[in-house]
Chains A and B, each alone.
Chain A
Amino acid sequence: MKYIVCIKQVPSTNEVRLDPETHAIIRDGRQSVINPFDLYAVELAKRLKEKTGGTLTALSMGIPATERLLREAVSRGADDAVLLTDRAFAGSDTLATSYAISLGVKAVGGADLILCGKMAVDGDTAQIGPELAETLGIHHVTDVCEVLDITEKDITVKKLTEAGTVTLKVSFPAVITVVKDIVQPGLPSIAGVRKSMDAPFTVFTAAEASADTARTGFAGSPTNVVKTFTPEGRTEAVPVAASDAAEFILNAIKEVR
């Protein structure tokens, strides 16, 4: 069995800080981290691999420094790591990213099961999993909350829906995206950190991954961000008169139900 887990490097916090003078967004100096949702995917992949045997590769597209986080994924249970890094990948939107990731999957000879976190905490798009599956022409299941069974050929999963859950059996190859708390990620051990330093680590450039550069990076991204702004700050609580309270609350309940 071949497993691939996709990880994204994200800022350590979602807080957006503005320079009090220039009002420009300040990046905190902290190191980026593995997208928290991806940690669940890494942990799940590790456990599935322990059950079925096989290999687990951590895959990411990003700047060269992403090596640190890919090695962290190794310390958490992956066997090796692959990084797609090239100027040609810069500025990718979700379509271009999923294309690049699909090349990475092929570059390592494909996989039976590809696991992703439900979404990244910085972009919140939740699009890479399904777009990757479509690009590879394979099945996908999003919002997986439980793995019920896994065999050589297929995996049986439970996914969350608004109404409840649906249980699906999906044959390989397939992409699944997992929700928070599907498993409880552990922390790496010192032994794991040692192992990750010597683990195989492969870098692919766009050319090495046979990329059609018209489909990568900024050039291959149909969407462009034209403006970013911080939403109006959290204002003080809106007062509602005691006499209107009951009606107001009942209406608010109607709205969310």
Chain B
Amino acid sequence: MMTEKLIHPMIEDYAEYLKDESRSVGEAESISFPQSEEEVRAIMKEVYAKGEKITIQGARTGLAAAAVPHGGHIMNLMKLNKTLSMREDENGKFYVTVEPGTILSQLKKSIESRKFNTTDWSDDAKKTFIRFAQAPEQLLTPDPTESSAAIGGLVACNASGARSYLYGPTRGRVTALRIVLTDGDVIDVKRGETFAKGRELTLTTEGGRTINVQLPTYQLPKTKNASGYYVDDDMDAIDLFIGSDGTLGVITQVELELLPMPATIWGVTCFFTKETEAVKFVDEVRNNITRLASLEFFDGKALALLRKQKAESTAFAQLPVIDPSYDSAVYTEIQCDTDDEAKERLFAIGEAMERCGGSEENTWVARNASERDILYFFRHATPESVNMTIDRRKKIDPIITKLGSDMSVPDKYLAEVIDMYNKTIEEEGLEAVKFGHIGNNHLHVNILPRSGEEYKRGKELFKKWAAKVTEMGGAVSAEHGVGKLKADFLMIMYGEDHIKEMAELKAAFDPKGTIGTGNLFTPIVKGGAF
């Protein structure tokens, strides 16, 4: 295949492809927008042979700069965005196969409205689609806060979201992948077909090549985790690629499992006048109330920021009024089969609030999709407000970018880790907001530097936290992936020996070390290992 027309030199028009939502900016010499797997293979083969670095991109909504290029070529997959097929298993479960550039919100909308372009589908897939259209509503569980993310990106960083508290991260829903390798060959891997023996994994490509992989020997933390390659004894081969941060190959197809939509979904945001009450409440409900889909936290600073945004910015005028007495909030979602059951749980939540010093009056209950959208908007507005603040501060000093933590700890350390965040932020005199997935003890602490100096101190503070969190048995990246921004935390978490094992694993797929350069590995190790 001729690749001349596919590979474009980087000109000013493509400037936006040098950055992502992490607000960091990279550099590149060329860019491509392949529209088929065949094109991906051709480009990969050619660019890899030349020894150029290749950064694989989706919707660039990531927060760890995994899509930010460090020189070389950018392969942007947003034009590889078709829904290819659908199948139904013997239990009536549906699976949908999409290309990596498919946007999550659009896929969800298609699933909800049962609208897919099935023109090019196989006859079997078309028949399945008819059954799907007649079946009760289906749910695609991954729900990262940024719903304009691409499916390929979701898989590459093993994204989670609020509902991961109940459903787990993206990993559990991925049932098949196709991955284009550096030589243009393809691995087609289906869940339940290929397993490691202990920590040794053998894969066969479509071209007939055998790849032997020695899996690293570390144990993954027993918390929510998206830090480094997923490894385990006798693991399923597909899990290696999920969360591999664009360092092993290019995902060209993803099959996702759908679940039946629960009949009743109620969201409720519970407000407290003290942060300690909110934290106590979290322990209270997660021990006593089952099938809550999510537990999300907003601290007092986050609420203050939202009040300010609502007053100042048209995009946030629709936020509900947040009473000035509220100092923190917990969002939780009830999923069950009947309204009566939901009511029972809702009242149980109310009672738990009262036990923790809160009041049932200080709640927002959302009992249908449009009401829930208000609460999701509220949730989404929090990081958006942080981003807008950062963008303003960047004008003070261009060094300033987003400083958002993504660390999780085991249940018993929740109060302790929050205490640590509060104390150290106060000691450093920094401005910060805490919000996120408190059900998994996984808060995003976002520092809002007011100067370049504060930015540097914030960055140092993150390293201290990474060490502390590792001591507690936690993970340095629980959902955003490691990308480039957290590669040094990964070193803190696993240590140099294990990072070297990871580098050897990568070399089995990418002997030149040019795919996703800078992701997962700090420059030091990269130099040492390759």
Chain A's closest residue to B134 (CB) is: A19
Query: Is B2 at the interface (CB under 8 A from chain A)?
Result: no
Which of A85-93, A127-135, A189-197 has 4 or more CB atoms under 8 Å from chain B?
A189-197
Query: Is A80 at the interface (CB under 8 A from chain B)?
Result: no
Of the candidates A15, A29, A184, A194, which one forms a contact with B113 in the assembled complex, judged by CB atoms under 8 Å apart?
A: A15
Assess A189 versus B364: contact at CB under 8 Å? Given A17-B114, A19-B133.
yes
Chain A's closest residue to B267 (CB) is: A187
Of the candidates A19, A31, A192, which one forms a contact with B365 in the assembled complex, judged by CB atoms under 8 Å apart?
A: A192
Least CB distance, A102 to chain B, in whole angstroms: 29
Chain A's closest residue to B113 (CB) is: A15
Q: How far is the CA of A30 from the CA of B318 in the complex (A)?
A: 25
Of the candidates B129, B347, B370, which one forms a contact with A190 in the assembled complex, judged by CB atoms under 8 Å apart?
A: B347
Within 361-413 of B, Cβ neighbours of A (below 8 Å) are at: 361-371, 374-375
Query: Is B360 at the interface (CB under 8 A from chain A)?
Result: yes
Q: How far is the CA of A17 from the CA of B113 in the complex (A)?
A: 7
Of the candidates A31, A33, A191, which one forms a contact with B350 in the assembled complex, judged by CB atoms under 8 Å apart?
A: A191
Q: Give the chain A neighbours of B350 by CB distance below 8 A.
A: 190-191, 194
Query: Is B66 at the interface (CB under 8 A from chain A)?
Result: no
Pull 30 A–B residue pairs with CB atoms less than 8 Å apart, ordered by A: A12-B368, A12-B370, A15-B113, A17-B113, A17-B114, A19-B133, A19-B134, A20-B133, A21-B134, A29-B137, A30-B368, A33-B368, A184-B318, A184-B321, A187-B320, A187-B366, A188-B364, A189-B362, A189-B364, A189-B365, A190-B268, A190-B349, A190-B353, A190-B363, A191-B360, A191-B363, A192-B365, A193-B343, A193-B346, A197-B343
Q: How far is the CA of A190 from the CA of B350 in the complex (A)?
A: 6
Query: Is B92 at the interface (CB under 8 A from chain A)?
Result: no
Assess A29 versus B136: contact at CB under 8 Å? Given A20-B130, A186-B320, A193-B343.
yes
Q: How far is the CA of A111 from the CA of B130 in the complex (A)?
A: 51
- Is B364 within 8 A of A31, CB to CB? no
What is the 8 Å Cβ interface bit string for chain B, positions 326-344, against chain A (1 contact, 0 not)? 0000000000000100010
Give B residues with C-beta under 8 Å from A.
113-114, 129-130, 133-134, 136-137, 268, 318, 320-321, 339, 343, 346-347, 349-350, 353, 359-371, 374-375
Of the candidates A30, A68, A75, A192, which one forms a contact with B369 in the assembled complex, judged by CB atoms under 8 Å apart?
A: A30
Chain A's closest residue to B359 (CB) is: A191
Chain B's closest residue to A189 (CB) is: B363
Within 182-210 of A, Cβ neighbours of B (below 8 Å) are at: 184, 186-194, 197
Q: Give the chain A neighbours of B367 by CB distance below 8 A.
A: 72
- Is B320 within 8 A of A190, CB to CB? no
Q: Give the chain A neighbours of B364 by CB distance below 8 A.
A: 186-189
Chain A residues with a Cβ closer than 8 Å to the other chain, count: 28
- Is B137 within 8 A of A28, CB to CB? yes
Of all A-B residue pairs in the complex, the 6 with the closest CB atoms, nearest first, are A187-B364, A190-B350, A190-B360, A191-B360, A189-B363, A190-B363
Other A-B pairs, 15, CB within 8 Å; known A17-B113, A186-B321, A191-B360: A12-B369, A13-B369, A19-B133, A20-B114, A21-B134, A36-B370, A72-B367, A184-B320, A184-B321, A187-B374, A189-B363, A190-B268, A190-B360, A193-B343, A193-B365
Q: How far is the CA of A15 from the CA of B129 in the complex (A)?
A: 18
Q: Give the chain B neighbours of A188 by CB distance below 8 A.
A: 364-365
Within 135-187 of A, Cβ neighbours of B (below 8 Å) are at: 184, 186-187
Q: Give the chain A neighbours of B361 by CB distance below 8 A.
A: 189-191
Q: Give the chain A neighbours of B353 by CB distance below 8 A.
A: 190
Within 1-34 of A, Cβ neighbours of B (below 8 Å) are at: 12-13, 15, 17, 19-21, 26, 28-31, 33
Q: How far is the CA of A188 from the CA of B370 in the complex (A)?
A: 14
Least CB distance, B267 to chain A, in whole angstroms: 9
Q: Give the chain B neighbours of A187 by CB distance below 8 A.
A: 320, 364-366, 371, 374-375
Least CB distance, A125 to chain B, in whole angstroms: 21
Q: Give the chain A neighbours of B320 by CB distance below 8 A.
A: 184, 186-187
Chain A's closest residue to B114 (CB) is: A17
Least CB distance, B100 to chain A, in whole angstroms: 24
Q: Give the chain A neighbours of B363 by CB distance below 8 A.
A: 189-191
Q: Give the chain B neighbours of A31 by CB distance below 8 A.
A: 368
Q: How far is the CA of A197 from the CA of B340 in the complex (A)?
A: 11
Q: Give the chain B neighbours of A30 by CB distance below 8 A.
A: 137, 368-369
Q: How far is the CA of A45 from the CA of B121 in the complex (A)?
A: 53
Q: How far is the CA of A188 from the CA of B320 in the complex (A)?
A: 12
- The winner among B114, B130, B137, B320 for most chain A CB atoms within 10 A is B114
Least CB distance, B421 to chain A, in whole angstroms: 29
Chain A's closest residue to B350 (CB) is: A190
Chain A's closest residue to B351 (CB) is: A190
- Is A189 within 8 A of B130, CB to CB? no
Q: Give the chain B neighbours of A193 by CB distance below 8 A.
A: 343, 346, 365
Q: How far is the CA of A21 from the CA of B128 in the complex (A)?
A: 12
Q: How far is the CA of A38 from the CA of B116 in the complex (A)?
A: 33
Least CB distance, A167 to chain B, in whole angstroms: 24
Q: Give the chain B neighbours of A28 by CB distance below 8 A.
A: 137
Q: How far is the CA of A33 from the CA of B371 in the complex (A)?
A: 10
Chain A's closest residue to B339 (CB) is: A68
Q: How far is the CA of A19 from the CA of B368 in the complex (A)?
A: 24
Chain A's closest residue to B266 (CB) is: A193
Least CB distance, A47 to chain B, in whole angstroms: 12
Q: Give the chain B neighbours of A72 by CB distance below 8 A.
A: 367
Q: How far is the CA of A254 from the CA of B359 in the complex (A)?
A: 57
- The winner among A17, A33, A36, A193 for most chain B CB atoms within 10 A is A193
